[in-house]
Amino acid sequence: MPRPASIRIIRLVGDQRVSAQRRDRPVRPGPSSLERISFYLKRDARKIFLRHIPLFRKGLPRERFKVSAYLCIYNDWDILGAALDSIADHVDELIVVDGAYEWMVPFLAATGCDPCRSDQRVYDAVIASGIPFRRINRTWKNEVEKRVAGYGACSHRFVLRVDADEVLFFNEKNLEAFLASGCAVAEMDMPTYIAPGWIVRTTRLRDFYRKYPSQRCLFDSQKISAEGHLKYLWLVIPADTLPKAKERTFSVFERPIAFCAHLTSWRTVDTAVNRGVFYVMNWMRKHGAPWLPKLNGRPMERFEEFFESIPAPTFREVLKRGAVAQGTISLGPRETLAKSPLSGQQEKSLEEHYRAFLRALAVQTMKATEEAQTMILGEPVFLDLSTETARSSLAEDGLVRIVTSLPLASVRITLHALATSPPLSAAQPIPATVEGREVRFALPGPKPECLRQVIELVGWAGGGEVLCTFRIVPRRAAISGREDGERQEREALG
């Protein structure tokens, strides 16, 4: 199935509509002549010509400007508290743009979720942050509509885009310089975190001069419209298009105003599956459902027919063992690992989220030894081995036995490993024996300096079936079952 990398890497007030009108705010004195000349140059040109000017210009006093933030969210609470705490001292209001997308309503109705309002845990985190907030609760056509509504509802001149998996560490000097520079948009360094202290960096030639991947985050709403700010963002819209904003593209301020610990891979299974549902269904809107011949290659805006074949609760359970729920388990061809620039104390504030993430994955692995799990044939199922608890529950002596509800024609087993020493990312094929409804393979031992280890299992039945259940038989149970069988055979023979 051809899928985007993000999927394949499997990589309080009453409900109300808030006004999109903004209040007038004081405007700083106009920029200097040199700033006017170079205002529309690209960010890297500003690095050369205006390297020192912003640092010597007096920034706007804090009392003379205010910052609004908007948060597009739906049932994503794991890291939200830490994300909001990190911006609380820099934000004067928060617009919570809540609700699912219209094309997800059939799934949410079948799984008992309110499509217009997130779980209460989201609002508990918002209230605990202490940031004054308003909320918009409804369903949305797509991410474009949702972000435009959030930006347009902000009251203050400067608008900060925030997400539920981003913990920000502001650079106060650079932030003040941005506010004095006359630039319309600022960015932050935003590498993806693999594990505490370790981030992903790209090795592309165009990124050679940049320390970390970046993302645009702070906008001057007097210069950039709600529709216009979308072109500065990274959006997941395979079946949608951006509105045509009739405004020029502004240069990005040359220094990052913050370092963002992007913890997108650290969601626990219960919230990561919501993100997985979004990615997979969004992909199917354009490409159809490859598992079902009648829906393969057929764009889908309504999913009722799909959920007649694969019930929504089953689909949700399948995606709990899918790629998105596993976090980052491999690196791309132009990616490498690097040490985080954060201090030890800053890193320590993030560690509990990572421990909770690994605990949730271990629970998922242990569940597979206790009860039957559902898989879509031809699609990967992942079993995390990153902790000793998870590994020992899967195979105490290195041998794994899996029993399936259907006879499998073939399987593919792969061990993915991420390590801090070369090879940083490895995918090791594991030979497996298939005998009818039983799959057996030997599990390699743990590797030193390994951050993550995950087993990928793909099975094919060959009869056109779509769903199959499987269960991992603990080694003790397998030995006990074989001994019982041998004893019964001896008794039968007299």
User: What is the predicted pLDDT for the residue at 280?
Assistant: 95
User: What is the predicted pLDDT for the residue at 209?
Assistant: 61
Question: Does 241 share its domain with 331?
Answer: no
pLDDT at residue 243 above 90?
no
pLDDT digits (tens, 9 = 90+) for 132-157: 999 999 999 999 999 999 999 999 99
Of the listed ranges 175-189, 193-207, 292-306, the least confidently predicted one is 193-207
| Look-up of token digits 């099975």 | 459
Domain that holds residue 338: 325-481
Mean pLDDT of the chain: 84
State which of 214, 236, 264 marks the end of a domain: 264
- Which CATH number do you get for residue 56? 3.90.550
Mean per-residue pLDDT, 206-228: 86
Query: Are 131 and 84 within 8 A, CB to CB?
Result: yes
State which of 249, 264, 279 marks the end of a domain: 264
Instruction: Please tell me which residue, 486 or 470, carries the higher pLDDT value.
Output: 470
Q: How many domains does the chain have?
A: 2
* Residue 410 within any structural domain of the chain: yes
* Residue 382 within any structural domain of the chain: yes
pLDDT at residue 35 above 50?
no
Of the listed ranges 36-45, 214-223, 310-319, 407-416, the least confidently predicted one is 36-45
Question: Does 449 share its domain with 362?
Answer: yes
pLDDT at residue 33 above 60?
no
β partners of residue 252: 185
pLDDT at residue 478 above 50?
no
Question: Does 217 share its domain with 338?
Answer: no
**Terminal CA-to-CA distance of the chain, rounded, Å?**
54
DSSP H helical segments within 260-343, as ranges?
Answer: 269-287, 304-309, 312-319
Share of the chain above pLDDT 70, in %: 81
State which of 264, 299, 314 marks the end of a domain: 264
**pTM, 2 dp:** 0.83
User: What is the predicted pLDDT for the residue at 410?
Assistant: 94
User: What is the predicted pLDDT for the residue at 134?
Assistant: 98
Question: Does 237 share its domain with 337?
Answer: no
Helix axes of 80-87 and 120-129: crossing angle, nearest 10 degrees: 20
Q: Is 32 helix (H, G, I), strand (E, B) or coil?
A: coil
Question: Does 82 share its domain with 176?
Answer: yes
Mean per-residue pLDDT, 361-384: 95
Question: Does 76 share its domain with 198?
Answer: yes
Question: Does 252 share its domain with 344?
Answer: no
Label residue 32 by pLDDT band (50, 70, 90): very low
